[in-house]
């Protein structure tokens, strides 16, 4: 039996390290929720961890928002909301030890918007050990574990449809790679697969959006002898502009019904505070994780932070950090805004009343000459 370790040294150190590394890999799988039940897929899609500190801070209830670069991973239709360059990036250490990185960008092309993104995690410098008479011994070989996804997305707006205003459709083609490398005993676990996601997003009114995504729609064993499980997620987002508040709610079908909910409040124009609830599948049931976050927007740059717990492994709560950039503020029906200033009645403008001139009456003067007859004197 072979095991993995990351430290060289004495036997007691190796045993502790072996347990730690195997725990890392197992915990990563548990967090992804993909190997918990017997009928679950063995494929780990790293984007299931979450992409972007803003969506994570909202409990991943982002399907009906999707108005930044993270839409490449959450709902490709959301890319059509932006008519200019958008960039997103994120970094975090899962279990405080496994680096997790996300990067992506989108730009309007070919009558719509194209996006390309990468998400990946990995552990390097893993020492291979073998069990001899119940005792682990280092073989001297080293290997690496990696899991990554590359997404290519396209989205476009279409004409109004019934009650839906400015509906948008999008699709993502993704390639997922995972496995060990560098050690012959684990090369067999290496592989690559592909799948497609579809998304839709529309406005119902000025402050309400709805969205839906169908993830991994290709049936069959598209990852060697395994199949990436299909996931359906739909959501609604509503803004309360008078309170500078944005709320969102998603329902996800992933072998069971899962809930995602979040709220984002802007006490100041540049600052956003977030809180959320994120459920993951667990042995035919679900576990509930809590999330919180903070965002700062300044001259097109966004700086976001998220704190996410893992209910089954509370000691592995993770901090995530994102930096993004947009050439313009994304236009979205549910974007919160500062309350409008109260209307001010303009001061009355004095009106000068000009009295009309009196009509000129022409008077005709008639002079009458009277001749008095004076009698002559005799």
Is a pLDDT exceeding 70 seen at residue 82? yes
Q: When comparing pLDDT for 13 and 258, which is higher?
A: 258
The tens digit of pLDDT for each residue in 311-336 reads 767 677 899 999 999 886 544 445 44
State the Cα–Cα distance between residues 21 and 138, nearest whole angstrom.
14
Considering the domain boundaries, does residue 14 fall inside one? yes
pLDDT of residue 355: 52
CA atoms of 106 and 114, how far apart (whole Å):
5
Confidence class of residue 130 from pLDDT cuts 50, 70 and 90? confident
- Say if 359 falls within a structural domain: no
Flag whether pLDDT at 14 surpasses 70: no
272 vs 5, more confident: 272
Q: How confident is the model at residue 86 (pLDDT cuts 50, 70, 90)?
A: very high
Q: Are strands 257-268 and 245-253 parallel, antiparallel or unpaired?
A: antiparallel
- pLDDT greater than 50 at residue 208: yes
Q: Is residue 368 part of a domain?
A: no
Decide if 300 is inside a domain.
yes
365 belongs to a structural domain: no
**pLDDT digits over 236-293, tens only?**
999 999 999 999 999 999 888 999 999 999 999 899 999 999 998 887 788 899 999 9
Average pLDDT over residues 217-244: 88
Average pLDDT on 147-174 reads 92
**Strand pairing category for 112-132 and 98-109:** antiparallel
Mean pLDDT across the stretch 92-100? 84
Give dist(CA 215, CA 212) in Å, integer. Answer: 10
CA separation for the pair 292, 56 (Å, rounded): 8
Range with the poorest average pLDDT among 173-177, 189-193, 194-198, 330-334: 330-334
Exposed, middle or buried: residue 149 (CB in 10 Å: 0-12, 13-18, 19+)?
buried
pLDDT of residue 316: 78
pTM of the model: 0.76
pLDDT of residue 164 exceeding 60: yes
Most confident residue range from 121-125, 225-229, 347-351 = 121-125
The confidence band for 3, taking pLDDT boundaries of 50, 70 and 90, is: very low
**% of the chain with per-residue pLDDT over 90:** 46
Among 181-190, 219-228, 293-302, 355-364, which stretch is predicted with the lowest mean pLDDT? 355-364
Beta strands in the chain (DSSP E): 2-5, 86-94, 98-109, 112-132, 135-157, 165-181, 191-205, 208-215, 231-240, 245-253, 257-268, 271-282, 285-298, 301-308, 318-326
Q: What is the mean pLDDT of residues 295-323?
A: 89
Contacts of 367 (CB under 8 A, 6+ apart): none
Domain count across the chain: 1
Positive/negative CA dihedral, 321, 201, 332, 253: negative
Q: Band the pLDDT of 39: cuts 50, 70, 90.
A: very low
Quote the mean pLDDT of the chain.
79
Q: Which of 97-106, 129-138, 268-277, 351-360 has the lowest mean pLDDT?
A: 351-360
pLDDT, tens digit (0-9, with 9 covering 90-100), for 109-127: 999 999 999 999 988 777 7
Q: Is residue 120 part of a domain?
A: yes
pLDDT at 24 over 60: no
Instruction: Give CA angle at 322 (320, 328), nearest 5°.
Output: 155
Q: Position of tokens 């990351």?
A: 6
Percent of residues in the chain assigned helix, strand, coil, to nearest 5: 15, 50, 35
Q: What is the mean pLDDT of residues 371-375?
A: 45
70 φψ region: left (φ > 0), alpha (ψ -120 to 50), beta (else): alpha
Query: Is residue 348 in some structural domain?
Result: no
What average pLDDT does range 212-223 have in this prediction?
86
For residue 24, give the CATH number of its domain.
2.40.160.40
Q: Which letter does DSSP use for residue 110 in this model?
A: T
356 within domain boundaries? no
Domain that holds residue 134: 2-326
> What integer pLDDT is reported at residue 373 of this predicted model?
44
């Amino acid at each position: 039996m072979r095991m993995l370790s990351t430290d060289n040294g004495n036997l007691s150190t190796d045993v502790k390290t072996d347990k730690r590394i195997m725990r890392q890999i197992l915990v990563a799988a548990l967090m992804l929720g993909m190997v918990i039940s017997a009928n679950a897929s063995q494929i780990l899609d790293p984007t299931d961890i979450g992409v972007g500190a803003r969506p994570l801070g909202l409990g991943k209830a982002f399907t009906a928002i999707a108005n930044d670069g993270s839409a490449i991973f959450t709902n490709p239709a959301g890319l059509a909301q932006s008519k200019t360059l958008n960039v997103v990036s994120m970094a975090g250490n899962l279990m405080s030890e496994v680096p997790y990185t996300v990067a992506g960008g989108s730009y309007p092309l070919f009558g719509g918007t194209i996006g390309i993104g990468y998400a990946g995690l990995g552990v390097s410098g893993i020492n291979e050990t073998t069990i001899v008479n119940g005792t682990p011994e280092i073989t001297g070989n080293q290997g690496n574990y990696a899991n990554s996804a590359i997404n290519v997305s396209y989205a476009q707006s279409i004409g109004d449809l019934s009650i839906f205003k400015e509906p948008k459709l999008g699709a993502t083609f993704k390639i997922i790679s995972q496995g060990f490398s560098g050690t012959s005993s684990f090369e067999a676990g290496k592989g690559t697969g592909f799948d497609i996601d579809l998304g839709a997003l529309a406005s119902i009114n000025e402050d309400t959006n709805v969205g839906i995504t169908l993830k991994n729609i290709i049936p069959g064993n598209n990852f060697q002898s395994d199949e990436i499980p299909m996931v359906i997620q739909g959501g609604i987002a509503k803004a309360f502009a008078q309170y500078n508040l944005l709320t969102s709610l998603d329902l996800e079908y992933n072998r069971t019904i899962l809930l995602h909910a979040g709220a984002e409040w802007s006490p100041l124009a540049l600052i956003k505070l977030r809180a959320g609830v994120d459920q993951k599948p667990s042995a035919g049931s679900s576990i509930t994780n809590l999330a919180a976050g903070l965002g700062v927007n300044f001259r097109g740059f966004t700086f976001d932070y998220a704190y996410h717990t893992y209910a089954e492994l509370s000691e592995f709560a993770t901090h995530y950090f994102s930096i993004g950039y947009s050439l313009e503020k994304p236009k979205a029906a549910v974007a919160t805004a500062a309350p409008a200033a109260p209307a001010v009645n303009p001061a009355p403008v004095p009106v000068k009343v000009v009295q009309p001139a009196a009509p000129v009456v022409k008077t005709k003067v008639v002079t009458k000459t009277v001749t008095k007859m004076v009698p002559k004197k005799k």
